[in-house]
Amino acid sequence: MVSVLKDIWTGLTDIIYPRVCPACDEVLGLEDRDICFTCRHTLPETDYHTFPGNPVAVHFWGKVPLTAATALYHFSKDGKVQHMLHHLKYKHRKDIGLLLGNFLAKTLKDHPVFSTCDLIVPVPLHPKKQLQRGYNQSAVIAEGIAEKTGIPVGKDILIRNTYTATQTRKGRLERWQNVDGKFILTKPKAIAEKHILLIDDVVTTGATLEACAKVLLSQPGTKVAVAAVAHAEM
């Protein structure tokens, strides 16, 4: 009964406010829950999670030891994935971030390595950008993964180093410690002995993820796996 009423309600609201597919902007059918049938079957999945020596993992070889690395989709300019990420970042569409996180979670949930992660850490956004945007898109994707996997998100554990803004308040020694890194840990004890799932929206060179992973791996017993929504090949 409840689901019948829900269907009627969705049907009515679809007439008044047609829902559109976040990937192609076509009007969604009543049977489409989130993206349209065509996009559901044509989004450019990489299947990178199925082979450890994939092009994302290779970015980190010889630089930082990761337990696994993957990206869900291929990123191409003006493609459907770019369209969705653009809406997430610039059009206040947090719902798309949650959806992408849900999709990414499907490939990680039963994976022999990713499924053993016990804490999700999103790549932090610069505070200025976060203030403009109202949220960190990687943190929204992380929430979407948490929804489907039950792995908790470690919020504000890893932050951008705003050294230049706060240096006047710091002692000389502390200043030295902060100069060499873009990222710092606020709660180092919270990640000790943890297998961390580090999340970003797009991986290009892997430099940002590498810097974040190095900071996380500075704590005793931590392991890091990396997953992104998309991989932009250069």
Is-contact 67 226, C-beta < 8 A? Answer: no
Q: By CB under 5 A, is residue 100 in contact with Zn ion?
A: no
CA–CA separation, 234 and 231 (whole Å) = 9
Q: By CB under 5 A, is residue 105 in contact with Zn ion?
A: no
Give the x-and-dash track for 212-231 against Zn ion (CB under 5 A).
--------------------
Contacts of 70 (CB under 8 A, 6+ apart): 46, 48, 49, 54, 56, 57, 107, 108, 114, 226, 227, 228
Interface with Zn ion (CB under 5 A), residue from 13, 31, 39, 187: 39
| DSSP H helical ranges for the chain | 2-16, 37-42, 55-60, 80-90, 94-109, 127-133, 137-149, 163-166, 172-179, 207-216
Part in contact with Zn ion (CB under 5 A); list of ranges 16-24, 94-102, 158-166, 181-189:
16-24
- Closer residue to Zn ion, CB minimum distance, 24 or 184: 24
Name the residue among 211, 197, 208, 212 with its Cα closest to residue 232: 208
Q: By CB under 5 A, is residue 36 in contact with Zn ion?
A: yes
Q: By CB under 5 A, is residue 21 in contact with Zn ion?
A: yes
Query: How many residues sit close enough to Zn ion to count as binding (CB under 5 A)?
Result: 5
Strand order in the sheet with 68-75: 68-75, 223-232, 195-203, 119-122
Q: By CB under 5 A, is residue 64 in contact with Zn ion?
A: no
| DSSP H helical ranges for 17-136 | 37-42, 55-60, 80-90, 94-109, 127-133
- Closer residue to Zn ion, CB minimum distance, 39 or 119: 39
CB of 27 to Zn ion, least distance (A): 10
- Closer residue to Zn ion, CB minimum distance, 39 or 209: 39
Q: By CB under 5 A, is residue 24 in contact with Zn ion?
A: yes
Part in contact with Zn ion (CB under 5 A); list of ranges 34-42, 103-111, 166-174, 199-207:
34-42
Binding region for Zn ion (CB under 5 A): 21, 23-24, 36, 39
